[in-house]
Amino acid sequence: MTVRLVIADDQAMIRAGLRLVAETAPGIDVVGEAADGREALDVVRRLRPDVLLMDVAMPRLDGLGAARRLLADPRPPKIVMLTTFGTDRNLHAALRAGVNGFLLKTSPPELLAEAVRVAATGDALIDPAVTMRVIASFAGGPAPVERPELDALTRRERQVLNLLARGLSNPEIAGALGLGEATVRTHVARVLQKLGVRDRVQAVVFAYEAGVVRPGQGERPCGGG
């Protein structure tokens, strides 16, 4: 399957670089570009791409505002957000809005292509460095929210959720727990189902809000057998 991609960034050189990376990756077809959030709305609604790769900080309408509007449409694209350490103040809000990924502009090209493909399948990918920003955004924040859904997780599923929240990929989780990747995929699917979340990104947000992982702390006691 070829993934139809639109790229939105206010810097022409960045758009050109992203296009080059995307078009050299198998199975990705760049069908349009936008220079700001308002143009992204028009281009996406006209071309109906599978995935929108969009910068957070843009003029006229920023990436977060554009994402919220597009995700309210009847047939929204999957959205992968791009950020730098200086422009990610809306990271948590974007994750809660339902985007399908978050990458740094310094992420390696192969991670960008993977994020686009993963988003097209309905799953999500967060750059591990961005996950560290998620952790930081919860430091000094409100107390964890009690979530009874955690009680439905087995001990192994809690371990998987903990590692998901720390930004590990399925192969990395498999290595950490001594499991096969197919088994990890099954555990991840069960975690998402039991928590009632759509994808890995939402599972990460859930984990931090529920206090499964907190900055400087390990996993809380398991709530399942």
Q: Where are the domains of the chain?
A: 3-128, 148-209
**Per-residue model confidence (pLDDT) at position 223:** 36
Edge-to-edge strand ranges of the sheet holding 78-83: 28-34, 3-8, 51-55, 78-83, 101-104, 125-126
CATH classification for the domain delimited by 3-128, as one of 3.30.1130.10, 3.40.50.2300, 2.30.110.10, 1.10.3720.10? 3.40.50.2300
Mean pLDDT of the chain: 84
Work out the pLDDT band at 169, boundaries 50, 70, 90.
confident
225 or 97: which leads in pLDDT: 97
Residue 139 CB contacts under 8 Å (≥ 6 apart), including other chains: 215
In eight-state DSSP terms, residue 20 is: H
Tell me the per-residue pLDDT of 100-145, one tens digit each, with 9 for 90 and over: 888 888 888 888 999 999 899 887 777 777 766 666 565 555 666 7
Work out the pLDDT band at 206, boundaries 50, 70, 90.
confident
